[in-house]
Chain A
Amino acid sequence: MYKSIDEINERIRDGSVRVVSAEEMPNIVDELGVTGALREVDVVTTGTFGAMCSSGAFLNFGHPEIPIRMEKMWLNNVEAYAGIASVDCFIGATQESTTRHSEYGGAHVIEDLISGKSVELHARAKGTDCYPRTSITNEFTLQELNQAIMVNPRNAYQCYNAATNMSDQAIKTYMGFLLPSHRNITYSGAGCLSPLANDPTFSVIGSGTPIFIGGANGVVVGEGTQSSPGVGFGNLMTSGNMKEMSSDYIRAATMTGYGVTMYVGIGIPIPLLNEEIVRHTAVRDEDLKTSIVDYGTPFRDRPVIREVTYAELKSGSVEIAGEEVRCSPLSSYKKAREVAAELKTRIESGSFTMALATRPIDSQKRNKPMAEKGYVYHVNEMMVATFVTITGEESVKEAAKRLLKGETNHLPVIDEENRLIGIVTTYDVSKAFAKDEQDMTVSEIMTKNVITIAPDAPVDFAARTLQQHNIGALVVIDSSRHILGMLNSYDLGDLVGGRGRR
């Protein structure tokens, strides 16, 4: 059995269309079967509401009396890209204010405009014969703009990694605050209600598909940047008229320690044209898998801790290494439902019709990482592999001798199996001498929580670690805590000095 788009649109016009949300579909298909569901249901609505950093808007201000070709521009002190001719800009959601930093950014400018607030424009130009003006400062509102077109390069991910942190330090990420030693998990996405989860083969969603975006009736532009549907991480480039949007569905946000982002509500209606599409919309949270990834590893290829379904994530706790770990979303499921429900209302009232995609999206495409042309240095290339050590039972006096002999400020402490158990520095030893404690043992004065690094870590990461802990050297160890070398902050200076150039 098949159904045509025209048939469905006819039903939307005469008010007889039958619309259900993607949440309801699995049970409908269980009850009526695939053919029965296709006969009974015309459109399935989906919805998602989450942090979509890759968002922004093109604005056109109109020409002032003395024309200007704006080259550099700020909106409420947030820089917008003005290199698109005279009085246009692209304001990106994650760009941060020069005065309020991560507490106000492009997303806030967009939300303020949508809420009807006035925004200050400041622009500079070099001045030409045809555009003589060199600067302008002006207030404007959304209604005064000729166009305000939201264009989001990468929205509505099919699914997304869940995040935890296996390191022993809390970290601040775009996935929110991650407690040390996997004490929490955060995830994003609406699971079975997510638009692309209901059309993973892109059989209906493509360029030109009508969508709900931020309260407006918008459109799918096409494949999103970095889209990787071949591995289940497809996304979409979307667009909509900001003048039709509402702050109910567009919210600026700040992930503390990461930066500004924008919560966007997107809903895509899926017209049920054939049985294959019906089967896809019957997806349940139990069927949707993603990976819990260790964000404590600051490299691109972060280790996967385990596979998990959206059903497990939505239950509120997931087991990692025998422990129940609390998990919470950073996208709003309540808002995702509101998006799907609002879309349903619009379709039923006849104000939102279906259309076939004008160009399909390649559902097998996979995203490629950056091929860095410059050489990336790793710790094992910069570390010093000759080093002196001491055991915990030896005296502070012996530690002083060892430091002098080794011409170093850092003395790793090892156990009988040569594993790292602590560190003493010239500062610790001087302090002990000053307090007349030179006969104490090394284990009594050593720092037990040693900041270490793996030999295959990039030196940029080593530099950040040194800076974060305000220390002068890192102990390079293997997975069994055997010492391989020392990485001193002054060794990294060689990179700048020329030894690192190839």
Chain B
Amino acid sequence: MKLMVEFDSDGVQYPNIAAAILRSGVMVNVERAFIDGDEGWALLDVDDKDADMFITALSGKGVSIRIQKDAVSHSLTDCVDCGLCISICQKQVFSFDENWQLVVNSERCVLCGRCATYCPQRALSIQK
């Protein structure tokens, strides 16, 4: 699953992610991150079965953790099922079902926002 971790000015002072990995022994994949002197965020991918353990290890002062779900909001009234998003998204969030209807698999999303920018019908948006 994907975890959206936000750091406040205290949270950015300490190597929280590294410490949590060492403490829990859980491997995580940092998919996107932006951290500077004042604040920051990181999108982490962690195996479902290890998630609780890792969240416990990462929890602490200056760190807030949220499970990232439904990252892509898909308007069924605006979408015409053209499928342009399918090949634009390199994370394979989008696919067709057997009736050529668009299927959105939000769990794979890394919030790059490219699908929302390039959807011809403006039927996609990213919830950050």
> For chain A, which range describes its interface: under 10, 10 to 19, 20 to 34, or 35 or more residues?
20 to 34
Stretch at the interface among A179-187, A361-369, A459-467: A179-187
B99 is an interface residue with CB less than 8 A from chain A: yes
Tell me the minimal C-beta distance from B76 to chain A in angstroms: 12
Q: Are A251 and B80 in contact (CB-based, < 8 A)?
A: yes
Q: Are A337 and B100 in contact (CB-based, < 8 A)?
A: yes
Interface residues of B in 39-95 (CB under 8 A from A): 80-88, 90
Interface centre among A251, A328, A329, A337 (most CB of B within 10 A): A328
A-B contact count (CB 8 A): 71
Give complex CA distance A186, B99 in Å.
Answer: 19
B13 is an interface residue with CB less than 8 A from chain A: no
Which B residue's beta carbon lies closest to that of A164? B87
Give complex CA distance A251, B119 in Å.
Answer: 13
Tell me the minimal C-beta distance from B73 to chain A in angstroms: 18
Selected contact of B122 from candidates A50, A254, A327, CB within 8 Å: A254
Q: Which residues of A contact B101 (CB under 8 A)?
A: 334
Give complex CA distance A251, B79 in Å.
Answer: 10
Q: Are B88 and A332 in contact (CB-based, < 8 A)?
A: no
Q: Which residues of B contact A49 (CB under 8 A)?
A: 80
Give complex CA distance A335, B118 in Å.
Answer: 20
Q: Are B80 and A327 in contact (CB-based, < 8 A)?
A: no
Selected contact of B88 from candidates A179, A254, A335, CB within 8 Å: A179
Give complex CA distance A340, B87 in Å.
Answer: 26
Given contacts A263-B80, A328-B83, contact A183 B90 (CB under 8 A): yes
Selected contact of B81 from candidates A172, A183, A255, A334, CB within 8 Å: A334
Q: Are B122 and A326 in contact (CB-based, < 8 A)?
A: no
Selected contact of B87 from candidates A186, A251, A255, A263, CB within 8 Å: A186
Give complex CA distance A43, B84 in Å.
Answer: 32
Q: Are B85 and A328 in contact (CB-based, < 8 A)?
A: yes
B121 is an interface residue with CB less than 8 A from chain A: yes
Q: Which residues of B contact A176 (CB under 8 A)?
A: 84, 88, 118, 120
B114 is an interface residue with CB less than 8 A from chain A: yes
B127 is an interface residue with CB less than 8 A from chain A: no
Q: Which residues of B contact A263 (CB under 8 A)?
A: 80, 82, 120-121
Tell me the minimal C-beta distance from B118 to chain A in angstroms: 4
Q: Are B118 and A177 in contact (CB-based, < 8 A)?
A: yes
Selected contact of B100 from candidates A177, A184, A333, CB within 8 Å: A333
B117 is an interface residue with CB less than 8 A from chain A: yes
A253 is an interface residue with CB less than 8 A from chain B: yes
Q: Are A328 and B121 in contact (CB-based, < 8 A)?
A: no
Selected contact of A253 from candidates B90, B96, B117, B121, CB within 8 Å: B121
Tell me the minimal C-beta distance from B47 to chain A in angstroms: 26
Q: Are B83 and A329 in contact (CB-based, < 8 A)?
A: yes
Give complex CA distance A365, B86 in Å.
Answer: 36
Q: Are B114 and A177 in contact (CB-based, < 8 A)?
A: yes
Q: Are B117 and A332 in contact (CB-based, < 8 A)?
A: no
Q: Are A327 and B100 in contact (CB-based, < 8 A)?
A: no
Q: Which residues of A contact B86 (CB under 8 A)?
A: 316, 326, 328
Q: Which residues of B contact A186 (CB under 8 A)?
A: 84, 87
The contact string, 1 if C-beta is below 8 Å from chain B, for chain A 165-195, is 0000000100011010001111000000000
Q: Are B87 and A256 in contact (CB-based, < 8 A)?
A: no
Q: Are A332 and B83 in contact (CB-based, < 8 A)?
A: yes
Q: Which residues of B contact A183 (CB under 8 A)?
A: 90
Q: Are A253 and B87 in contact (CB-based, < 8 A)?
A: no
Give complex CA distance A152, B90 in Å.
Answer: 35
Give complex CA distance A185, B87 in Å.
Answer: 7
Q: Which residues of A contact B87 (CB under 8 A)?
A: 184-186, 326-328
Tell me the minimal C-beta distance from B122 to chain A in angstroms: 7
Q: Are B120 and A253 in contact (CB-based, < 8 A)?
A: yes
Q: Are B82 and A330 in contact (CB-based, < 8 A)?
A: yes
Selected contact of B80 from candidates A177, A256, A328, A335, CB within 8 Å: A335
Interface residues of B in 100-123 (CB under 8 A from A): 100-101, 114, 117-118, 120-122
Q: Are B118 and A251 in contact (CB-based, < 8 A)?
A: no
Interface centre among B84, B96, B99 (most CB of A within 10 A): B84
Q: Which residues of B contact A179 (CB under 8 A)?
A: 88, 90
Instruction: Please report B residues at the A interface, Cβ cutoff 8 Å.
Output: 80-88, 90, 96, 99-101, 114, 117-118, 120-122
Q: Report, nearest first, the 5 A-B pairs whose CB atoms are least far apart.
A: A328-B86, A253-B120, A184-B87, A328-B87, A334-B100
* 28 A-B interface contacts by CB (under 8 A): A49-B80, A50-B82, A51-B120, A176-B84, A176-B118, A177-B114, A184-B87, A184-B88, A186-B84, A251-B121, A253-B121, A254-B120, A254-B122, A256-B117, A256-B118, A263-B120, A263-B121, A316-B96, A328-B83, A328-B85, A330-B82, A330-B84, A331-B82, A332-B82, A333-B81, A334-B101, A335-B81, A337-B100
Contacts A176-B118, A176-B120, A332-B83 aside, 19 further interface pairs with beta carbons under 8 A come to A50-B82, A172-B118, A177-B84, A186-B84, A251-B121, A253-B120, A254-B120, A316-B86, A328-B83, A328-B84, A328-B86, A329-B82, A330-B84, A331-B82, A332-B80, A332-B81, A332-B100, A334-B81, A335-B81
